[in-house]
Amino acid sequence: MAWKRRLQYLWRRMLLFAAVFGPGLITASADNDAPGIATYSMAGSTYGYTFLWIVVWITLGEVIVQEMAARMGTLTGKGLTDLIREEFGLKLTVLVMLGLMLANLGTTMAQFAGIAASAELFGLTRYIAVPIAGLAVWVLVVKGSYHRVEKVLLLLSAYAIAYVISAFMVRPPWGEVTRNLFVPTLRLERPYLLAVLATVGTTITPWAAVYMQAATADKGVTPENYKSARLDCIIGAATGNVVSGFIIICTAATLFTLGIRVETAEHAAMALAPVAGPWATHLFGIGLLGASLLAASVLPLSTTYAVCEVFGWERGLNHTWGDAPVFYGLFTASIVLGAVVVLVPGLPLFAFMWLSQVANALLLPIVLVLMLKLANDRRIMKDWRNGRATNAAVTALAVLVTLAGLLMFGRW
């Protein structure tokens, strides 16, 4: 009978995990968005396997930051900018919000740049594909409840499997891959530092922390089932960054060895040639489209969550337009603006996607410092405050990103 009780216990735990599963995987998958694919493709084609060690450390950093956001959302039932406003006042919160809005707007534009690039891989004009995609994202979010939107976003997360399959089919030197995962290679050159900042900016993003905390609160995760939410964070971050690593491996094995640096979507598509052959362009186009649609839904949501939290307006996907007009109005404006800018002729789509992530990295240290202060506040977090290891890791991350930014500008 003991085995039956054990089986029942495991079944209850699985059901509990399924109930809170979602925000972590969606957030991490959205990090592997169009700018993320562009960033990792450029890094792999430019620096080969020597860039892999960064992915390992960024994975640890993302797990810690996302867990901290989920924990604050669980205990307080409030979003990140909501807590910042309550604890630090409106002036500082507005400054943070403006920085977040600018970075998010650039990244949202980059998602539509990804949609445009994927359409052009299929021979379609961006002037038709981008408006249709923008309308589809708008209808999905405005007309759906949180749980319905979450299911679609989880489905879109499946785009990344192509890179995992391709990485094994190119048969890279796995000994060299393993060595570069654990042996750091650092260069104090401006292009390398720019690539590091872009990689950090596409993985550990301010918008992801905002979305994670708001989504956790929106989903109604309670302290009683927080362990499952934390597992969701860990699985999501690990899965997302495993895919990031495989993108680098694919481009390193197929492009770096040939001396081809990724500058266009067509170049990046060559990394999937081993698994798709002549269909590589189409497979990459589907993956890029899925990634772009996923993040084009999440990015504007994180912006609208932040703005509405700052000013105390109703927000959340479980509200109707009539209950939360500002929330849905801002979401609509973000979609429209992001789509319109990408329709400007001559825009260098892949370079635009890559540079948008540098803005995220430069804003990240400020957000991390505020999160640290909130997560260590005894009055807010009670017994759920950060441990010493978490504080040390987040502090180190903020310092390293700041130093990388200063070194980059110092070598401009």
- Whether the per-residue pLDDT at 8 is higher than 50: the answer is no
- Report in angstroms the alpha-carbon separations of 48 from 25, 65, 171, 200: 27, 28, 14, 17
Q: Supply the DSSP symbol for 377.
A: -
Please report, for the chain, the start and end positions of each structural domain, with discontinuous segments joined by +.
21-410
- Report in angstroms the alpha-carbon separations of 382 from 231, 236, 372: 22, 27, 14
Radius of gyration of the chain (CA): 21
Look over the chain and give the mean of its residue pLDDT values, rounded to a whole number.
Answer: 75
- Whether the per-residue pLDDT at 232 is higher than 60: the answer is yes
Distance (Å, rounded) from C-alpha 61 to C-alpha 67?
Answer: 10
Rounded percentage of the chain residues whose pLDDT exceeds 70? 74
Mean pLDDT, residues 130-147 taken together: 76
Instruction: For residue 206, name the pLDDT band (cuts at 50, 70, 90).
Output: confident
Distance (Å, rounded) from C-alpha 167 to C-alpha 247?
Answer: 8
Give the range among 127-131, 227-231, 362-366 with minimum mean pLDDT: 227-231
Structure tokens, 206: 């301010």
User: Which residue shows structure tokens 């825009």?
Assistant: 347
Distance (Å, rounded) from C-alpha 132 to C-alpha 117?
Answer: 14
H or E element: which one contains 176? Answer: helix 174-182
- Whether the per-residue pLDDT at 133 is higher than 90: the answer is no
Structure tokens, 199: 């990689």
Higher pLDDT, 167 or 125: 125
Distance (Å, rounded) from C-alpha 392 to C-alpha 394?
Answer: 6
Residues 351, 263 contacting (CB under 8 angstroms): yes
**pLDDT tens across 24-47, in order?**
455 555 555 666 777 788 888 888
Instruction: For residue 412, name the pLDDT band (cuts at 50, 70, 90).
Output: very low
Residues 267, 260 contacting (CB under 8 angstroms): yes
Distance (Å, rounded) from C-alpha 99 to C-alpha 366?
Answer: 10
Residue 269: predicted pLDDT: 59
Residue 267: predicted pLDDT: 59
Mean pLDDT, residues 213-242 taken together: 77
Higher pLDDT, 279 or 332: 332
Distance (Å, rounded) from C-alpha 106 to C-alpha 295?
Answer: 12
Give the range among 98-102, 148-152, 328-332 with minimum mean pLDDT: 148-152
What is the maximal distance between C-alpha atoms in the chain?
Answer: 70
Give the range among 75-79, 176-180, 230-234, 351-355 with minimum mean pLDDT: 351-355
Residue 326: predicted pLDDT: 84
Higher pLDDT, 155 or 323: 323
Residue 268: predicted pLDDT: 62
- Whether the per-residue pLDDT at 146 is higher than 60: the answer is no
Distance (Å, rounded) from C-alpha 230 to C-alpha 66?
Answer: 9
* Residue in 251, 264, 273, 268 with CA at minimum distance from that of residue 46: 251
Give Cα 87 to chain centroid, integer Å: 26
Rounded percentage of the chain residues whose pLDDT exceeds 90? 2
Distance (Å, rounded) from C-alpha 367 to C-alpha 84?
Answer: 10
First to last CA, the chain: 69
144 Ramachandran zone, left/alpha/beta (phi>0; psi -120 to 50):
beta
Name the fold adopted by 21-410. Amino acid/polyamine transporter I (1.20.1740)
Distance (Å, rounded) from C-alpha 279 to C-alpha 276?
Answer: 5
Q: Write out the DSSP string of 37-56.
A: HHHHHHHHHHHGGGGHHHHH
- Whether the per-residue pLDDT at 376 is higher than 90: the answer is yes
Residue 153: predicted pLDDT: 54
- Whether the per-residue pLDDT at 386 is higher than 60: the answer is yes
Residue 12: predicted pLDDT: 43
Give the range among 278-282, 322-326, 370-374 with minimum mean pLDDT: 278-282
Burial zone of 268 (CB within 10 Å; 0-12 exposed, 13-18 middle, 19+ buried): buried
Residue 15: predicted pLDDT: 37
Residues 394, 368 contacting (CB under 8 angstroms): yes
Higher pLDDT, 187 or 51: 51
Residue 409: predicted pLDDT: 63
